Structures are given as structure tokens and as C-alpha cells.
Amino acid sequence: MRDVSELFKGQKDLESLKTLIHLAQELAIARDHPQLCSISLAVPYTEPLAVLDSVFDKNVPQFYIENTALKESHAAAEAIIQKTDLHTKHRFIETQKWINEWKDNCVCVSDPNLFLKGPVFFSGFPFTEESVEDKAYVFVPRWHVSRKGNKYVAIANFLIDENTDTNQYAHFLWSLHEKFITYDYSSLSKESDGPEIELEPREEFGNSTSYKKWVQEGIHNIQNSKLDKIVLARCKTYKTHSLQLVLLLNRLRHQFKECYTFAFSPGEGKFFIGATPERLAMTEVGKLKTVAIAGSAPRGKTVSSDARLSHELLKSSKDLSEHTYVIDSIRRRLKKLGIEIKAQDTPHLLQLANVQHLQTFIEADIKEASILEIIDVLHPTAAVGGIPNQLAKEKIATIENWDRGYYAGPIGWLDTQGNGEFVVGIRSMRIYKNQVSVFAGAGIVNASNPEKEFTETELKFEAILKALGI
């Protein structure tokens, strides 16, 4: 990436924009390759979800993620470059190669001391590369706004090639810039939870009877093969005519402040949204952070019952064993990249509205591995796939009679400086046309009880269905 910020010495006017576009066009001609231009500016208070709401178009690619507790969020839309042909087991490595190609053909201008600058690549990957329901999709947006604490950044991206009318394009971009810096929040609709969401139950994959049979089959495989753990998931589908996406996201971010509220769309009206508690990987300044989440229990209805359930979870041999499986799996997989992890000595509780989990934070120093290389070895984690990884994926495909699509897949972003963050797409739903598909799963080990595992998935459904008004 070529950073030419010093050439402009902080000047932000139409003539400077024209100069940047002319420079990019000269490079495009010299390299015989379009140039990705990126302008990153510090901006005053910005609410990314409100900006997304103001320009919402269900037919264009878009991305949103927010962790309310951490005061971090991103919103982005309209693809200027995209990658779609990612159908092999090497899809993460292929994505990195594609990003590297554009990194070598990128011109960047930015304000000093920003927490984020240059183009950001947003992506969603299905659970397996064989998915027919959903396809891997990676894109750089035309516009992107981001918040970190009390700092805000706006990023504009555009393509320049040898045929670009540089003068006309400069005036077009300048008009968009002026519109953004004078963004008027008072023009937005008044705060409202919107109309009631009307849902009509349709098909269910993994009802009470069939899911318990799946669990029994999973236990049988564990007892009679090299399988140690398998995660089996269910899907409930509904018909709807009244769902407003941004209002639903607003509900999720307020109901699940400890989670990552997200929305990903490759365009054409298809959305994958949710509120996941699970970070798959985050890289920043040579550091990797991930988390092990496995072992679950309901929340109590009283202080005393809640404390009892928490104590039982922390002492449960079945849940502690399942949790240890996940940590050990992360350790083994990252060691393939020469990465040694540092995990907390004992798990602690992650307490959500209606369910609680065992959670262990994990960190590591990284030197050369990119976040996509890390995801390549981590996904699917033992928390959503099983142990050993490949055998669990094969058994999931034979036991579950539905296509997970984006469910439990990696959803996230990365920049050109080695920073990025991906979450695991659980506690989630797919929205397409007039159908909503909601997902939930549970980890199965030798000590699992089919009735209890079914109840656990019902608890997880309850959390996401509450946002839908059920």
C-alpha cells in the first residue's frame, strides 16, 4: 500500500482530491492495474448504525458489527471490489492472496494518528466450503464508518483506472464528502421499536424427537470411533412480512451488550445477523486474542437459584471436560503456525440474559501469521464443530439434514496493516425474502444427555427469538 498522506500536508479540498486521483491514474497506467484509493478521516461523533439506517438498501452488500460493552463498531456498504469464487478448502488463503494483490495496488491518504486507516476488507464465510445455501463473500465498501471508544473514523474507497474521467469523478466524490461531514441526525425518524414482527412457524430441522436421535447418534459415534466431541445444531424457519432489519439490530445490541451484534449481506436481499458471544480471533499490533467458550447452563429466576446454577456449572465435570477440549484444540491448531498461547488458569462465567457459559480468554504473540491464516487453522473451533475437526465435520454432514450456510462460520474484517477481528456466527438468523431461519446448537460429549442438550438449544433459541418478539 502506498501512503501519500505527506504529499498533501493535511489539506482537504477539491484540488487535493483531484491531485490524488491523477496520481492514482498514473499508477494504474504504469502498472496496468486499477488502483484502489482510500481516504481516511477523523470525524466528530458518528453512530455507525444510524448512518447505515439512513442509506439502507437491502440490495447492496453491507456489513455491521458492534460490541456495545467495548464501545467498538463498524458499518459499511456498497462494494467497489469483491471476491466470490471461494469454494475450496483453501478459501482463507485464497482470500489473503487476493487482498495482497490489492494491497500492492492501493493508494492511501489519511489523517494522522487514526486507530484505523486505509481500505478494510469485510467478509462472511459459510461453515463449510461446500455450502449451497450461502457462499463466501469478501468486499471493500464504497463507504465505511467506525468507532473505537470516543474516536471516530470515516473511510471512502474508490477505484481509478486509465479510463476514469478524473475531473468529473473528483467533483462527484467531493459532493459526497460534503454531504457526510454535514450529516444531520435530526433528520432521522424518532426513536421507535417499530411495528410488531409477525412470524408464522414453518419448517423445523431438529425438532424434539429428531434432535434427541441426532444426539444419541453423536454419542454412539464418540463411543465407537476416534470422535471426542461433536456440535449438533438445529434450525427453525418462519414466514414474515414485517421485519425491519435496522430496528432488529438495535434490539439485539441493547439486549446483548456483552455480545457482538452483527449483520452481513452479500447483496440481493440476503442477510445473516445475530448477537454472538464468541470472538474467533482478533489481531492488533502483533498480538492475537481469542476465547474458548464451551459448557452451558441456564440462568436462575432468583438470585439464589442463579448462584446455585453458576456454582454447578463451574464444578460440572462434563462441562469442564468439554471446555478443556476446546482450549486444547486451540492450542494444538495454533501451534501449527508456531504460535504459543497463554490461557487463563481457570475458566470464568460469561453470563448472558438467559444462559451462562464457561469462558477462558486466550492471548498470543504473533510474528508473521495473518488473521486469515489463523482462521484457516482455527475454524471450525471445537465449540462449533468438534474434535477431531475433520471427523466432526464429516459426522455433522451425515447427522444434520440441513445446510448450515453462514451459521457458525467466520464473520469479520481485516485491514492492510495486519489488524482484524472475526467472530463466530452463532446466536444468529438468516433473512431472505419473506423467510427467517434461526439457528442454535449444543456440544455433545460422551457424558451428554439428549434431553438436556435439547433443552440447551431451546435456551439459545429463546435468546434470539426474543428479539423477534417471540
Do 137 and 6 lie in one domain? The reply is: yes
pLDDT of 196: 65
For residue 64, give its domain range.
2-187
Do 108 and 168 lie in one domain? The reply is: yes
pLDDT of 353: 85
Instruction: Express each pLDDT in 434-470 by its tens digit.
Output: 999 999 999 999 999 999 999 999 999 998 898 888 7
pLDDT of 314: 97
Do 114 and 217 lie in one domain? The reply is: no
Residue 199 near residue 65 (C-beta atoms within 8 A) = no
% of the chain with per-residue pLDDT over 90: 80
Instruction: Express each pLDDT in 145-157 by its tens digit.
Output: 999 999 999 999 9
pLDDT of 129: 95
Do 282 and 229 lie in one domain? The reply is: yes
User: What is the Cβ-side half-sphere exposure of residue 171, based on CA atoms within 13 angstroms?
Assistant: 3
pLDDT over threshold 60, residue 342: yes
* CB burial readout 363-380, b (16+ within 10 A) else e: ebebeebbbbbbbbbbbb
Residue 225 near residue 392 (C-beta atoms within 8 A) = no
Do 87 and 15 lie in one domain? The reply is: yes
Do 167 and 239 lie in one domain? The reply is: no
Do 61 and 167 lie in one domain? The reply is: yes
Q: Where are the alpha helices (DSSP H) in 345-384?
A: 371-378
Say if strands 410-414 and 279-284 run parallel, antiparallel, or are unpaired.
unpaired
Place 185 in a pLDDT band, splitting at 50, 70 and 90.
low
pLDDT of 171: 82
Average pLDDT, integer, range 129-136: 95
| Residue 193 resides in a domain | no
- The values of phi and psi at residue 199, to 5°, are -125, 135
Do 231 and 345 lie in one domain? The reply is: yes
> When comparing pLDDT for 378 and 177, which is higher?
378
Task: In whole angstroms, give the CA distance from residue 412 to residue 397.
Answer: 25
Do 209 and 312 lie in one domain? The reply is: yes
| Residue 321 resides in a domain | yes
4-18, 73-87, 272-286, 375-389: range with lowest mean pLDDT = 4-18
Count the domains in the chain. Answer: 2
- The values of phi and psi at residue 153, to 5°, are -135, 140
Last residue of a domain, one of 187, 213, 244: 187
Q: List, by residue number, the catalytic residues.
A: 229, 278
pLDDT of 190: 47
pLDDT over threshold 80, residue 178: no
298's enclosing H/E stretch is strand 287-298
Do 18 and 43 lie in one domain? The reply is: yes
pLDDT over threshold 70, residue 189: no
What Cα–Cα distance (Å) separates residue 87 from each residue in 94, 339, 367, 426?
10, 27, 28, 22
| Residue 155 resides in a domain | yes
pLDDT of 35: 96
Task: In whole angstroms, give the CA distance from residue 65 to residue 72.
Answer: 8
pLDDT of 388: 94
| Residue 7 resides in a domain | yes
Do 148 and 241 lie in one domain? The reply is: no
Average pLDDT, integer, range 106-134: 95
> When comparing pLDDT for 31 and 189, which is higher?
31
pTM: 0.94
Instruction: Express each pLDDT in 204-240 by its tens digit.
Output: 999 999 999 999 999 999 999 999 999 999 999 999 8
CATH of the domain at 281: 3.60.120.10
pLDDT of 422: 98
**Terminal Cα-to-Cα distance of the chain (whole angstroms):** 48
Task: In whole angstroms, give the CA distance from residue 64 to residue 207.
Answer: 31
Average pLDDT, integer, range 259-276: 96
Supply the mean pLDDT for the chain. 92
Task: In whole angstroms, give the CA distance from residue 308 to residue 466.
Answer: 25
- Residue 52 pairs in a beta bridge with none
- The values of phi and psi at residue 243, to 5°, are -90, 125
| Residue 166 resides in a domain | yes
Residue 73 near residue 146 (C-beta atoms within 8 A) = yes
Average pLDDT, integer, range 281-306: 95
Average pLDDT, integer, range 307-316: 97
pLDDT of 133: 94
- Give the gyration radius of the chain's Cα atoms: 23
% of the chain with per-residue pLDDT over 70: 96
| Residue 260 resides in a domain | yes
| Residue 170 resides in a domain | yes
pLDDT over threshold 80, residue 300: yes
DSSP class of residue 120?
Answer: -
Last residue of a domain, one of 138, 158, 187: 187
Do 168 and 307 lie in one domain? The reply is: no
Task: In whole angstroms, give the CA distance from residue 295 to residue 443.
Answer: 8
pLDDT over threshold 60, residue 246: yes
